[in-house]
Amino acid sequence: MVSSEMVKPLLASNGGDSASRGPLSCGDTIGILGSGDFSRSLATRLLSSGFKVVVGSRNPKRSAGLFPADAEVTGQTEAARRADLIFVAIFRDHYSTLKGLAEVLARKILVDVSNNTEINVSRESNAEYLATIFPQCTVVKAFNVVSAWALQSGPADGNKQVLICSDSVDARNRVASLARSMGFIPMDMGALCSAREVENVPLHLLPLWKVPCGGAGLLFLFFYLYNFVRVVLHPYLTEGKNQFYKMPVELMNITLPCVAYVLLSLVYLPGVLAAAYQLRNGTKYRRFPDWLDRWMIHRKQIGLVSFFCAALHALYSLCLPMRRSARYQLLNDAFKQVKQNVTSSWVEEEVWRMEIYVSLGIIALGILSLLAVSSLPSVGNALNWREFNFIQSQLGLSALVISTLHTLTFGWRRAFDPNRYKFYLPPTFTLTLVLPIIIILTRCALLLPCLRTKLTRIRRGWEKKTYGKFSDLSDTSTECSSNV
């Protein structure tokens, strides 16, 4: 922690007067240096939040028409003079053009919103470079992780977090209050030396998606090769049939639901494992293993990848009857029926199986669509905790159960047909059923009164005592100490 004795000289040498004036309020004037897209979006958001905005531009007459009517567009010197907190919304390469404003900017707060074009691993951050150019100012790194779209449309439609770092605690507090007034959630990242890490955040390409997409890719590769061996390679080697034409569409349509089904199971497996850990430990205060923590963090992305594969499976299924190979197969079957004098090919059992199979698949895809839509920030923010938990947990498990019924209906009696075991390999759907059925059975076991009551008490803060019973948190300190 930074003591007050350490903060005072820091503020004195870095614009302490302006940094210690207290939180901003509606009606205060905020300055912006720069007239680009981000500056226009920032001015729009500040005006809608009740602040006055003065924009400093090198060419005020040309830039005035690009900003809202309530924003005052003037020269850079005038904008710097009229505001105590100023956003520097220009590229790092142009920082040197502001050196002539050093005297006007002295003892003021400069908020650096710039980003780099590539991840910075060695050189100083943009904010630190700005601080070296203006040593009499207090530099704050903030708002660089917020897009121009989020500023213009509001935080409900974009990222709500604003990462803030500065060597001045008071300056961080002022910018944090400004972020709250604009509807964002400020996150204190500490001193200005953290600016390099903050500037690298927007440059990471989908960091939470690497593990889910990598896992989905490995599952797809496994199931595709497995199906290739059974559907294409086996008839080619044993009967000399050339069925390689099935690889682009039919083989894809067999593989995608397997991937989607297993990924959906992996969304709800960590919850079962977490419950098992809590029941074994008798407390919720012991940390889960790191791998389980990371797994639970990636559940949203895993579920969305599962929905993507399920949607592709639905599209491929719609395309199956339109293939020329399917039409040829229908003609061949009709020719065989005529040759064998077969008057009807209607099989009651198969008709019912396909009707139920398709219906369950549509219902499962519909529920997955609802789960995917509720994962969007703009939709999730409109739901309270109970609504979001109901959709993601109860409806999600319903989707898993219905998908299991969908798969079982597809299998029907095929799992017991010896002709379905190519190279002694079981049908693909039997492999995919193993994990979901284990999860469903385990979830049913957790609903038993003996386990459900115990797990509920643990999650409400109860802890197992050394002799195996549970004690309330209101017990005496002597009794509580025995739980440690």
CB-CB contact of 110 with 134 (8 Å): yes
The encoded tokens of residue 418 equal 């010896």
DSSP state of 392: I
SS3 content of the chain, % helix, strand, coil (to 5): 65, 10, 25
E runs forming strands in 178-281: 185-188
**Residue recorded with tokens 């990598």:** 214
Q: Give Cα 21 to chain centroid, integer Å.
A: 38
- From the number of C-beta atoms within 10 Å of its C-beta (0-12, 13-18, 19+), residue 103 rates as exposed
Alpha-carbon distances of 389 from 135, 157, 267, 277, 371, rounded to whole Å: 50, 20, 14, 21, 11
Amino acid residing at 204: H
E runs forming strands in 358-443: none
CB-CB contact of 72 with 51 (8 Å): no
In this structure, the number of other CB atoms found within 10 A of the CB of residue 372 comes to 18
pLDDT in tens, the chain (484 residues): 334 333 333 333 343 455 556 677 778 999 999 999 999 999 999 999 999 999 999 999 999 999 999 999 999 999 999 999 999 999 999 999 999 999 999 999 999 999 988 888 788 999 999 999 999 999 999 999 998 888 877 655 556 889 999 999 999 999 999 999 998 999 999 999 999 999 999 888 888 899 999 999 999 999 999 999 999 999 999 999 999 999 999 999 999 999 999 999 999 999 999 999 999 999 988 889 999 999 999 999 999 999 999 999 999 999 888 877 777 777 777 777 677 776 667 788 888 999 999 999 999 999 999 999 998 877 887 888 889 889 988 999 999 999 999 999 998 888 888 888 999 999 999 999 999 999 999 999 999 999 999 999 998 888 876 444 544 444 433 333 333 3
Which residues partner with 382 through β-bridges? none
Report the candidate in 208, 216, 214 with the shortest Cα–Cα distance to residue 260.
Answer: 216
Distance CA 339, CA 26 (A): 87
Distance CA 381, CA 184 (A): 13
Q: Collapse the DSSP code of 139 into the 3-class scheme (helix H, G, I; strand E, B; otherwise coil) and give the result.
A: strand
CB-CB contact of 162 with 174 (8 Å): no
Amino acid residing at 222: F
Angle at CA 149, nearest 5°, toward 380 and 196? 95
Distance CA 197, CA 201 (A): 7
Domains in the chain: ranges and CATH? 4-203 (3.40.50.720), 207-447 (1.20.120)
DSSP state of 184: -
Enter the pTM of the model.
Answer: 0.75
Which residues partner with 187 through β-bridges? 163
- φ, ψ (nearest 5 deg) of residue 269: -65, -45
